[in-house]
Structure 1
Amino acid sequence: MVRPFKISIPQQEVDDLFSRLKQARWPSIFHEKPWALGTDHSFMKRLIDYWGSEYNWREQENWLNSFPQFIETVDGMNIHFIHVRGEGASSKPLLITHGWPGSFMEMLKAVPYLTTPSLFGGKSEDSFDVIIPSIPGFAFSDKPTRPGVGSRYVAELWAKLMDSLGYESYFVQGGDIGAGVSTWLSLMYPDRVKGLHLNFIPGSYKPLLSEETPPLSDEEQKYLDKVAGWTEREGAYGALHKTKPETIAFALSDSPIGLASWIVEKFQAWSDCNGDIEASFSLDDLLTNISIYWFTNSIASSIRIYAEGPKMPLPFSEGQKVTVKTGVSVFPKELPMPPRSWVERGYNVTYWEHMNKGGHFAAMENPELFAGQLHHFFHSL
């Protein structure tokens, strides 16, 4: 049964956070180019000072609560989700899945462009009903207590959630972990999924390569080489999440400064900010996302999905293909993105667009541009 939900963090937990921030013990300074070795020391000092003095959680909590939120129990697991109905009489349902280290919050600024297009020069009949669930282990959804909660299982939960909401068919969108969830939905429920949009290609996607398939092109080989180089330079966090997530979980669950450092470095590295993170995100936006992780104590449960997902990889090695019409928007500062030919080996790609700005957190960094891509693709179907 669907129940309304409001975020209401007890004041004692807010006070505890501020107390911890005041007791920070800082690492020694090493003089190197900012962000070259990870999170920048001077930026972190300013971020934490702002968090403990000027940042207003209650104000942000009210903003989050301005979006209709609900809890639904699916397979015995309480799932938190945003559900905003579109202004049109025949709004199309659109299921959006977030990733890590984001949350449902990273999608919210794009919601008005999708649900009320008439306010932005569009037509009311082009509106969507937007559903944004929190992946199990993230934010206000239940934390898994057993193995097996990877992208495939989440896709099964989402299908049941959409059934409970009365949607027999729908569009799906995803980036990061959400790209894997949305791909699984399209593979398992092609009769329900009417269109798939991705702004990232799942890391576990490996199309079938055999004597019967075309040989790798130079462009495809360059992409694979780029992935290998990126993994060597930037992939340490992912290797740790996949192999020993519990080790880092203790530190990140106990220290808000450690948590902020672990998350904010990815927002700086994966955005189109030219080195200046505040060119892409406000301090309030960064801290609201981080605060959600802190107040729900969900960093440990969120990174475990890196260990669970590979246990059930996408089955493209068996020659399976996504038959659902697929649109891909390529943002310039995204993690390594494959060429279209590589994606077409496993997806029915009918739309491919290169953006002139943006990065991994497209909906948060450029909400109007992100929403415009969804309008363009889904309304072309």
Structure 2
Amino acid sequence: MSTMSLTPTRRDLLAAAAAAGAIGFLPGAALTAGADDSIRPFTVNIPQEEITELRLRIAATRWPDQETVNDRSQGIQLAKLQAIVRYWGTDYDWRKGEAKLNALPQFMTEIDGLDIHFLHVRSKHPNALPLIMTHGWPGSVFELLKTVGPLTDPTKHGGSPEDAFDLVLPSMPGYGFSGKPKGTGWKPDRIARAWAELMERLGYGRYVAQGGDWGSPISSAMARQAPRGLLGIHINLPATIPPDVAAVLASGGPAPAGLTEKERAAFSSLDTFYKKYRAYAAMMGTRPQMIGYALTDSPVGLAAFMYDYNNGEPERLLSKDEMLDDVTLYWLTNSATSSARLYWETMGQSVLLAAAQKTAEISLPVAITVFPEEVYRAPETWARRAYRNLIYFNEVDKGGHFAAWEEPELFSAELRAAFRSLRPAH
């Protein structure tokens, strides 16, 4: 992988950032000179030979035999994957995906010894609320791009100027163009501290945070740590599983007595997820290096592993190009292993259980949106037990695990509503 990054003088850096409308400073805020906390403009520029090599590897795929059933119960079906891979190796154009990223201001900065890649898009509207959003696995900043317009320019998307956000979209450590940790310890709590440092470095004195998938435990960790300036969080995969229910799920026992209809439905969907679809997390949580040996050498293996997530139906609301932008990013940045280690760092816990820890310690405002095709529909009763300062809870009628990617307009409308009460009066 190769990228082009610039390291200009401090004056050139600030001038370039201002011209791009990418960095907003509070009065008196400043970037300290020096390699450790400088912010460097960043452009994606993958050499053509790497794209050519990818296509050659795809063409040379050695395929397994066909599944012995007529459904997805053994994994993604051979014919379906072959059709996707055929398109990937011939018609898919990475340069279009690359252009999506390069159309927005991108930067790199070192935090806690690791380079962090992030997009920073300022709204044209004054008094926009700064918002840091975190992607998950097997996602990337690609899954958030369709929300940039609705969130930064709400007047074009059914909102008002008072609904505007300034966006900070970082790539998690080990994901995309961010650096790969060389040691252990990069858990949600540490990433949360890095995000708080990033927002402070950008000069934001008041801001909010949002996350789904791994972004949920990271945003929840931020709320628990309550760094200076954080007003509240919004999550769309909330850690609402009560401890007694989590214990039953872990043991494989039947649903606890006394559950409401919605709680029983949530338990049932979680039970199905844990029994049938969570093998990916178990593998990454216990043997990320072994996963890497296979997925780093085979682009089709990587595509199949990522495709099978979300019940093996990423094309339900995503185009082939959108899905392949994400898979290709993982391939070109060689991040199959480094991204998997986040599961190992949390001892193989699911995103839900990783986020469920210590929710009672969160005193900052929490907002939740439940999307109907998520891993499970979090009942409001569980949400109120988990978060003592729940300021917003809403169940919408469409969207799933990749809500920002699948339903960007609805997702953006939810964030406007969720954070409206936290905006400073002007």
Q: Same fold (TM over 0.5)?
A: yes
Distance 2:60 2:92 in 1: 17
TM-score normalised by length of structure 2? 0.81
1:60 paired with 2:101, answer no
Deviates more, 1:28-37 or 1:340-349: 28-37
Code of the aligned partner of 2:320: L
Q: 1:318 to 1:370 in 2, by over 3 A?
A: closer
1:266 paired with 2:306, answer no
1:236 offset after TM fit, Å? 1.1
Distance 2:280 2:348 in 1: 19
1:189 offset after TM fit, Å? 1.2
Once the two structures are superposed, the pairs formed by residues 1-381 of structure 1 within 5 Å of their partners are: 1-189=38-226, 191-202=228-239, 217-219=258-260, 220=263, 223-224=266-267, 226-269=269-312, 277-310=314-347, 320-347=360-387, 348-381=389-422
Number of equivalences: 369
Distance 1:18 1:317 in 2: 43
Aligned 8 A contact 2:239 2:356 in 1: no
Code of the aligned partner of 1:363: A
1:293 offset after TM fit, Å? 0.1
Distance 2:222 2:348 in 1: 17
Q: Deviations over 1:94-137 (max 9, x none)?
A: 01001000001100011100001112232223210010100000
Distance 1:57 1:375 in 2: 32
Q: 1:368 to 1:177 in 2, by over 3 A?
A: same
Gaps of 5+ in 1: 210-214, 270-274
**1:99 aligned counterpart, secondary structure:** coil
Q: Deviations over 1:137-193 (max 9, x none)?
A: 000000011111111110011011111000122111001110000000000016532
Distance 1:324 1:217 in 2: 30
1:14 offset after TM fit, Å? 0.7
**1:324 aligned counterpart, secondary structure:** coil
Q: Deviations over 1:14-70 (max 9, x none)?
A: 111011011011111125334232112122111111111111111221122101110
Q: 1:346 to 1:114 in 2, by over 3 A?
A: same
Q: 1:319 to 1:175 in 2, by over 3 A?
A: closer
1:326 offset after TM fit, Å? 1.3
Aligned 8 A contact 1:207 1:346 in 2: no
Q: 1:317 to 1:21 in 2, by over 3 A?
A: closer
Distance 2:376 2:358 in 1: 24
Q: 1:114 to 1:25 in 2, by over 3 A?
A: same
Number of the residue aligned with 1:272:
none
Deviates more, 1:155-164 or 1:306-315: 306-315
1:358 offset after TM fit, Å? 0.9
Aligned 8 A contact 1:103 1:138 in 2: yes
1:316 offset after TM fit, Å? 6.8
Code of the aligned partner of 1:42: A
TM-score normalised by length of structure 1? 0.91
Aligned 8 A contact 2:226 2:364 in 1: no
Q: 1:316 to 1:112 in 2, by over 3 A?
A: closer
**What CA RMSD, in Å, does the superposition of the two structures yield over aligned residues?**
2.3
Code of the aligned partner of 1:93: P
Q: 1:286 to 1:318 in 2, by over 3 A?
A: closer
Distance 2:73 2:130 in 1: 42
Distance 1:374 1:89 in 2: 18
1:350 offset after TM fit, Å? 1.8
Aligned 8 A contact 2:242 2:382 in 1: no
Gaps of 5+ in 2: 1-37, 246-255
Code of the aligned partner of 1:241: M
Q: 1:137 to 1:317 in 2, by over 3 A?
A: closer
Distance 2:321 2:268 in 1: 37
1:207 offset after TM fit, Å? 5.3
